[in-house]
């Protein structure tokens, strides 16, 4: 059977285990020899026990677990050619020419570069007698399929990344808990949520928790935001509301690009309204805990589709990423999605927020 390996890279997210499980079982079902690569690219470079053959039962009882049981890492060695040479050697000597990578845009870009360089890596390995002529010929093509695991939902080309829905469950649970204590003391709470440079978690949180105000990176508020915020909070209190909730995305900025932090918002509220105000930073709680049903199914569907994409790949097939379009698992050219994701980052850096939002939209 064909050699296929799965690894997780970059920050973990809930639902990655469901994806790993699905890749392993679909791979075995289709007759492949399936391997785990532990600790992301680092495990691929280090080889040894980090690359281990998987069987049907080695992925039992993981679908409900958060994080990634095969580990993840940010790897400096893979950035250097020597590291990639070692990684290629580790794969070829095990007959692995199909890779499923579950990670963010950086991890997917790394996989694509590896694929483009594959031939020259193999030539160098052959020259140095690290692989045989037969191996050079037999494993001359490397196929890549990606899936996006991230709580941030910041990748272009997919409606949802694996982990986002579970993070929202964590956040909403926490806000509901905060609301009862805020109500009792007539307090104002400022909740900071993750998302890096993406405001998706913050917007969905604000909508589903009846928050009074939300700050996100893609829509910096007008220069008079402090007055607007205070007016809104006061108006809600006047109309009988006993508490206020403000959501701040960790990447929130003003029109000059300066961070709008939970501390800054608190200062504004306290100085102007003298409200009893507290900050809750949810932090990594958002990335932990068991995956939601949605993320489990998403991981399962994407994993199966990724394996099918690899089995159908020809030498000419470009690396793909499996994404969610409506309710369909689809395959898109990996680098198109990565380039669009990078274009969003550039538009944000250029303070062209309308363009960023437009680029983030579907297709």
Hunting for tokens 């949180």 — which residue is that?
Answer: 205
Q: How far is the CB of 150 from ligand F6P (least distance, A)?
A: 5
Which of 68, 109, 150, 209 is in the footprint of ligand F6P by CB under 6 A? 150
281 binds ligand F6P (CB under 6 A): no
For residues 142 and 206, which CB has a smaller minimum distance to ligand F6P in the complex? Answer: 206
User: Taking CB under 6 A as the rule, does residue 218 contact ligand F6P?
Assistant: no
Tell whether residue 285 is among the known ligand binding residues.
yes
Contact pick of 84, 169, 287, 360 for ligand F6P (by CB under 6 A): 287
Binding mask 117-146 for ligand F6P (x = CB under 6 A): ------------------------------
Binding flag, residue 194, ligand F6P (CB under 6 A): yes
Interface residue with ligand F6P, options 39, 46, 105, 152 (CB under 6 A)? 152
Quick one: 218 or 250, whose CB is closer to ligand F6P? 250
Report whether 103 belongs to an annotated binding site: no
Q: Which residue has the tokens 């009988």?
A: 240
- 295 catalytic residue (yes or no): no
CA distances 308 to 22, 47, 250, 257, 354, Å, are 11, 26, 37, 43, 37
Q: Does the annotation list 110 as a binding residue?
A: no
With vertex at residue 158, the alpha carbon angle to CA 249 and CA 193, rounded to the nearest 5 degrees, is 15
CB of 200 to ligand F6P, least distance (A): 10
170 binds ligand F6P (CB under 6 A): no
Which residue has 């589709």 as its token pair?
Answer: 305
The separation between the first and the last C-alpha atoms of the chain, rounded to the nearest angstrom, is: 36
CB proximity list for 145: less than 8 A, separation 6 or greater: 98, 99, 100, 101, 306, 307, 309, 310, 319, 320, 321, 322, 331
Judged by CB under 6 A, the stretch of 192-200, 264-272, 290-298, 314-322 that binds ligand F6P is 192-200
> Cα-Cα-Cα-Cα dihedral of 327, 333, 335, 339, to 10°?
-50
Give the DSSP per-residue string, 57-113.
Answer: GGGTT-TT-SS-TT-----SGGGSHHHHHHHHHHHHTTTEEEEEEEE-HHHHHHHHH
Give me the least distance between CB of 195 and ligand F6P, in Å please: 5
Q: Fill in the per-residue mask, 223 to 252: x = in contact with ligand F6P (CB under 6 A), - = not in contact.
A: ---------------------------x--
**Rounded Cα gap, residues 6 and 12, in angstroms:** 14
**196 belongs to the binding site for ligand F6P (CB under 6 A):** yes
**How many whole angstroms separate alpha carbon 256 and alpha carbon 97?**
48
User: By C-beta, is 229 or 356 nearer to ligand F6P?
Assistant: 356
* Contact window for ligand F6P (CB under 6 A) among 29-37, 107-115, 118-126, 191-199: 191-199
- CB neighbours (10 Å) of residue 176? 10
**Residues of this chain that bind ligand F6P (CB under 6 A):** 11, 150-152, 194-196, 250, 287
Active-site residue list:
152
């Amino acid at each position: 059977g064909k050699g296929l390996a799965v690894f997780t890279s970059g920050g973990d997210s809930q639902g990655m285990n469901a994806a790993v499980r699905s890749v392993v079982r679909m791979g075995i079902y289709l007759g492949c020899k399936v391997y785990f690569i532990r600790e992301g690219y680092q495990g691929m470079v280090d080889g040894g026990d980090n690359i281990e053959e998987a069987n049907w039962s080695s992925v039992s009882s993981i679908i409900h677990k958060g994080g990634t049981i095969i580990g993840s890492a940010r790897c400096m060695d893979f950035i250097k050619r020597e590291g990639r040479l070692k990684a290629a050697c580790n794969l070829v000597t095990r007959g692995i020419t199909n890779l499923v990578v579950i990670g963010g845009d950086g991890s997917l870009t790394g996989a694509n570069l590896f694929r483009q360089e594959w031939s020259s890596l193999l030539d160098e390995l052959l020259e140095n007698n690290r692989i045989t002529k037969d191996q050079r010929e037999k494993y001359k093509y490397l196929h890549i399929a990606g899936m996006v695991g991230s709580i941030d939902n910041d990748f272009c080309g997919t409606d949802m990344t694996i982990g986002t829905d579970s993070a929202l469950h964590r956040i909403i649970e926490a806000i509901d808990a905060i609301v009862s204590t805020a109500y009792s003391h007539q307090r104002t709470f400022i909740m900071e949520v993750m998302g890096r440079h993406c405001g998706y978690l913050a917007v969905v949180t604000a909508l589903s928790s009846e928050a009074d105000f939300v700050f996100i990176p893609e829509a910096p508020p007008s220069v008079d935001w402090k007055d607007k915020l205070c007016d809104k909070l006061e108006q809600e209190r006047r109309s009988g509301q006993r508490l206020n909730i403000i959501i701040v995305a960790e990447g929130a900025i003003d029109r000059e690009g300066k961070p709008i932090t939970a501390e800054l918002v608190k200062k504004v509220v306290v100085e102007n309204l003298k409200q009893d105000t507290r900050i809750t930073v949810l932090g990594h709680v958002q990335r932990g805990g068991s995956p939601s049903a949605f993320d489990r199914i998403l991981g399962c569907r994407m994993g199966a589709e990724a394996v099918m994409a690899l089995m159908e790949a020809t030498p000419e097939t470009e690396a793909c990423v499996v994404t969610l379009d409506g309710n369909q698992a689809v395959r898109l050219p990996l680098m198109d999605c990565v380039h669009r994701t990078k274009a969003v980052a550039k538009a944000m850096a250029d303070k062209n927020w309308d363009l960023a939002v437009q680029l983030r939209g579907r297709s």
